Amino acid sequence: MARSPSSGPPSPARPEEPPWVGRKVLVTGASGFIGGRLALRLDGMGAEVHAVSRNPVHRQEPGLSERAIRHAADLRDRETAGTLLRKIRPDVVFHLAGEVDGARDLDLVLPTLESNLLGTVNLLTHASALSGVRVILCGSSEEPRPANEQSPPPSPYAMTKWAATGYAQLFHRLWGVPVTVLRPTMVYGPGQRDARKLVPYLALSLLRGEEPGLTSGSKRADWVYVDDVVDAFVLAAETDRAAGQVLDIGTGVLTSVRETVELLFRISGTSLRPRFGAVADRPLDVAQTADTGPAAEILGWKAVVGLEEGLRRTLAWYAEHR
């Protein structure tokens, strides 16, 4: 119908709001390395961030915005997980909580089973009852994959991650849960505080003036910068085609531990030397690289921070936050 001359000029089109403004997101493992970085990014994009940790998450938690809504919840308990999801009713669940320890110790079997598998199944079960909830899970590059020639899981941690991926695919096939599994390779960068990991251990050793004791350094890894990984998680939640997919997140470039250590030492300018061979190599270690094609095709994602630049940024962060 034609507009009446008296109806005035048309109203200007309202600009579309950015996709995350006002959306509720639940980030489990928000006190951890990737989870904290992801929560901070989502907050900056305008999302209502609910940060979940097994232990109380304090307002002073490094890396978390003061606007994030903190929740202490043990997802191993089925009722606790259900109460949490029904209370928040999130649009997206980013599940990064778990027992993260790649050691080959027998006493890790039950803790990783309960935290990484039972907690994930509890979340998926309750998410299936809430209409439209997207779920993004953090898998492991040590799961059997084409890129590692289907090598069997080398640790209790990797075994539980492989089982969790299987359950995620089952929930998608049978009950239509829009779940995506991202399998990052060797993640490093600012904010990583676990001194058992290689880069934090090296950085802290250098700051203390100590020569770190290391394995032979023969293991090869695909090093991926944490902010690139966060980009992938955000894109996975924005991309409808990602539902039901299991995607590697890495650079596709293998660099040995020895080469990585030597590069970091050169960047630091130290006169200290690493002590290769001071620690035994872990059994069953295999090269863990990413097949980058599917993430590029489905998410439009590609790692952009090279290893040397990423290590420079990381060392600068440790020097500032020592």
Model pLDDT for residues 89-144, shown as the tens digit of each residue: 999 999 999 998 888 999 999 999 999 999 999 999 999 999 889 999 999 999 99
DSSP 305: S
Task: Name the band, by pLDDT with cuts 50, 70 and 90, for residue 285.
Answer: confident
Domains defined for the chain, CATH in brackets: 24-187+226-251+290-304 (3.40.50.720)
Report pLDDT for 63. 60
User: pLDDT at position 2, please?
Assistant: 39
For residue 17, what pLDDT is reported? 58
Query: By percentage, how much of the chain surpasses pLDDT 70?
Result: 91
Instruction: Determine the pLDDT at residue 1.
Output: 38
Please count the CA atoms within 13 angstroms of the CA of 4 that sit on its side-chain side: 2
**Predicted local confidence at residue 20, as pLDDT:** 94
- Measure the CA–CA gap between 289 and 219, rounded to whole angstroms: 11
Q: Could you tell me whether strands 69-72 and 48-53 are parallel, antiparallel, or unpaired per DSSP bridges?
A: parallel
Q: Which of 227, 231, 296, 221 is nearest to 253 (CA)?
A: 221
pLDDT of residue 91: 97
**What proportion of the chain, given as a percentage, has pLDDT over 90?**
80
Instruction: Report DSSP letters for 213-229, one per residue.
Output: B---S--EE-EEEHHHH
The dihedral of CA 119, 125, 130, 132: what is its sign?
A: positive
Confidence of residue 213 (pLDDT cuts 50, 70, 90): very high
pLDDT digits (tens, 9 = 90+) for 246-265: 999 999 999 999 999 999 99
